[in-house]
Amino acid sequence: MDEAIVRIGVSLPKNLLAEFDSIIRSRGYSSRSEAIRDAIRMYINEYKWLEKESGEVIGVVSVIYDHKYRGVTDTIISLQHDFGDVVTTTMHIHIDEENCLEMITVKGDMSKIKKMVGRLSALRGVTSVKFITAFKEEKF
């Protein structure tokens, strides 16, 4: 299938672009465009996979955030309480002076977990949210 190429403009913070360029050089990409296309494909595949998932699952939500953002830590804790029916365990790790990693194990309905992931992702100060399903079955 022959697809037309469309040019777009993207604004990024300088440090994010520098980190991206470093990674694409080490991975051997011939251009930023090639790397961006690959990254977009991976994002789309992950999104589609998560959208297909349904029913009862067990997994881990990892959240990296800058604890210096006002209220982010309290909001993350509050969200864990709001979703107490799917949150089973949490672990907090100090990465460096500013950044923390929250590992949240979950068990329950995928739609509720997706809602929690979406709310976590929208928080100011949160830099990364990943959800990995470890197990899916109709009955545990």
pLDDT in tens, 5-49: 888 888 989 999 999 999 999 999 999 999 999 888 888 877 776
CATH class of the domain comprising 55-136: alpha beta
Query: Are 59 and 120 spatial neighbours (Cβ–Cβ below 8 Å)?
Result: no
44 among annotated binding-site residues: no
Only one residue has tokens 């930023």, namely: 32
94 marked as binding residue: yes
Instruction: Summarize pLDDT for 101-116 with one digit per residue, the tens.
Output: 999 999 999 989 999 9
81 known member of a binding site? yes
Measure CA 31 to chain center.
25
The reported pTM is: 0.66
For residue 89, give both structure tokens.
Answer: 């365990």
71 is in an annotated binding site: no
Predicted pLDDT of residue 21: 92
